[in-house]
């Protein structure tokens, strides 16, 4: 078999794996949205079987033989080089994991998700702690299989979501801005900003209409995607032309649901853009990394849709839909309210200045759980103590604290840091767009067009770090993010 034949077969297997992934996404969407409690057991078996089939192909002998023939260094196209790199990395990782463990993690994720939902509704961590303990043990076993000489078990999990980064480097990046962020939150959280009008009753139909109009202007194609409501907002790709986002309308401020819609819309634009190229239907038709994916959702949510220029364009439309709620509220007051810095318990509702502190909290707790210095039974107390140290008060309930996020139920340890990395990537790309290209926040279509060409259509041809470097011409610098915040909030609040 020559290299051309080997690559053709590799691509065929890769597309087969993506199809299995999309089938799994459809089953998980169904579980999130409509599945009844009694059906969870069989659904977990279905998902576990799919994971086992995927693992068998990705780590199978045929994949190994193809990769022995192929050498990405001799390939002429970026597509070939990237697909071989991705499949080789997955092959080497999955060969270290027994199929029984792969299936066990997937089945446990389905069960743990359901117990997390129940615990969250009842505000009772005990309903979730047993399933979480099982998941933590399984994730530790997975990390041990994947560590391969890495400094910590956490390194093996982090690199799954952010290729090429380790715990020490991420810790260094976060530590370099933790102090400045804490100081800024201390300064701006004390500003007297009246946002009471955002906490009135806003008709859901009007919220949906407004968000959908902005999403359309951003480039979200409703012939290829849809929006729905869920307990925890998320984005999933069921197929290249079936990309779904969700939001929720149970949060206290009308801007919370709007921000969730725009955040998830940013994820969807990435998926739609990558799926409109030669990458369509392959493992490359997605984000360069989870951090780069988050950079786009965070960029749209905060740097664009919370800017004064954005609301200069959209506030008249918002006022027209909600005349009574915005009566007597001028543009300046509205923008200051949208950007109010506070100390909320809920990560997804946090302002862009304090948001990363929520991630630093989870980053530390995850490492402690994996290292064995923290047990699941003590997690609520550890959460509350660290939260109090960062924000100055403790969550009133576990629902507002340790039970607010879905990620641990699915075993996604190592994922949370990518949210804060996304802030760093996004700030650097945003600075490039404004300083070098002159793009402004109100030019939603222009921003979308540039990002589609520079980021989205490139998919996973490069890693997240490499993509940021290719776009901006500069290595990742965490201080760009804090400089952006200082400039923006000093303009808004003095």
61-69 and 78-95 helices, crossing angle to 10°? 140
Contact (CB, 8 A) for 268 and 240: no
| CB-based contact 426:303 (threshold 8 Å) | yes
For residue 394, give both structure tokens: 């403790």
Burial 258-291 (b: 16+ CB within 10 A, else e): bbbbbbbbbbbbbbbbbbbbebebbbbbbbbbbb
Token pair of 49, please?
């079987």
CA dihedral 488, 246, 412, 16 (to 10 degrees): -120
* 241 contacts 257 by C-beta, under 8 angstroms: no
Residue with tokens 């979480």: 132
Q: Are strands 242-247 and 225-229 parallel, antiparallel or unpaired?
A: parallel
Can you read off the two tokens belonging to residue 189?
């959280």
SS3 state of residue 395: coil
Beta-carbon count within 10 A of 63 CB: 23
Tell me how far apart the alpha carbons of residues 366 and 361 are, in angstroms, rounded to a whole number: 9
Is 214:266 a contact under the CB 8 Å cutoff?
A: no
Give the closest residue to 271 by CA, choosing from 281, 259, 255, 285. Answer: 285
Rounded Cα–Cα distance for residues 299 and 425 (Å): 9
Nearest of 228, 270, 284, 251 to residue 79 by alpha carbon:
284
Q: Are 376 and 430 in contact (CB under 8 A)?
A: no
Sole residue written with tokens 């029984």: 100
**283: number of CA atoms within 13 Å, CB side?**
24
Active-site entry in 90, 264, 366, 457: 264
Cα 386 from Cα 389, distance rounded (Å): 5
**Paired tokens of 245:** 């986002």
- Active site annotation includes 264: yes
Q: How is residue 91 written in tokens? A: 């092959």
CA 372/CA 134 separation, integer angstroms: 14
φ/ψ region of 289 (left if φ > 0, alpha if ψ in -120 to 50, else beta) reads beta
Q: What are phi and psi of 305, to 5 degrees?
A: -80, 0
Between the alpha carbon of residue 2 and those of residues 28, 62, 79, 185, the distances in Å are 39, 15, 18, 59
The set of catalytic residues is 264
């Amino acid at each position: 078999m020559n290299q051309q034949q080997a690559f053709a077969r590799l691509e065929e297997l890769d597309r087969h794996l993506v199809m299995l992934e999309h089938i799994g996404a459809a089953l998980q969407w169904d579980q999130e949205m409509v599945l009844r409690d009694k059906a969870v057991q069989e659904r977990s078996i279905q998902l576990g079987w799919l994971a086992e089939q995927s693992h068998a192909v990705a780590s199978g002998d045929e994949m190994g033989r193809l990769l022995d023939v192929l050498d990405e260094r001799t390939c002429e196209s970026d597509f070939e080089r990237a697909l071989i790199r991705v499949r080789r990395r997955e092959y080497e990782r999955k060969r270290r994991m027994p199929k029984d463990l792969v299936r066990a993690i997937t089945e446990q994720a389905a069960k743990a998700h359901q117990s997390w939902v129940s615990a969250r509704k009842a505000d009772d961590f005990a309903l979730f702690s047993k399933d979480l303990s099982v998941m933590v043990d399984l994730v530790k076993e997975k990390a041990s299989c994947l560590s391969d000489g890495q400094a910590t078990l956490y390194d093996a999990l982090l690199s799954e979501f952010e290729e090429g980064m380790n715990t020490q480097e991420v810790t260094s990046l976060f530590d370099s801005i933790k102090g400045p962020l804490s100081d800024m939150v201390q300064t701006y959280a004390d500003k007297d900003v009246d946002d009471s009008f955002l906490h009135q009753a806003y008709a859901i139909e009007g919220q949906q209409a407004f968000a959908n109009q902005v999403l359309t202007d951003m480039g979200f194609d409703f012939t290829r995607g849809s929006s729905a409501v869920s307990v925890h907002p998320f984005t999933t790709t069921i197929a290249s032309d079936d990309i779904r986002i969700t939001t929720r309308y149970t949060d206290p401020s009308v801007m919370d649901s709007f921000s969730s819609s725009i955040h998830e819309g940013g994820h969807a634009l990435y998926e739609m853009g990558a799926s409109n190229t030669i990458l369509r239907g392959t493992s490359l038709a997605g984000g360069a990394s989870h951090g780069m994916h988050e950079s786009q959702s965070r960029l749209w949510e905060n740097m664009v849709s919370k800017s004064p220029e954005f609301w200069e364009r959209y506030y008249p439309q918002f006022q027209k839909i909600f005349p009574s709620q915005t009566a007597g509220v001028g543009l300046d007051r509205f923008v200051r309210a949208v950007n109010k810095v506070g100390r909320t318990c809920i990560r997804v509702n946090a302002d862009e200045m304090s948001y990363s502190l929520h991630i630093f909290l989870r980053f530390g707790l995850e490492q402690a759980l994996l290292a064995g210095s923290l047990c699941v039974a003590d997690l609520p107390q550890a959460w509350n103590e660290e939260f109090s140290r960062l924000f100055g008060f403790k969550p009133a309930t576990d629902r507002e604290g340790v039970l607010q996020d879905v990620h641990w139920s699915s075993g996604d340890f190592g994922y949370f840091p990518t949210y804060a990395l996304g802030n760093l990537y996004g700030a650097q790309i945003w600075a490039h767009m404004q300083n070098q290209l002159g793009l402004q926040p109100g030019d939603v279509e222009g921003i979308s067009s540039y990002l589609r060409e520079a980021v989205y259509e490139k998919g996973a041809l490069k890693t997240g770090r490499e993509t940021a470097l290719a776009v901006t011409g500069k290595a990742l610098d965490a201080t760009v993010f804090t400089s952006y915040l200082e400039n923006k909030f000093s303009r808004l609040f003095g």
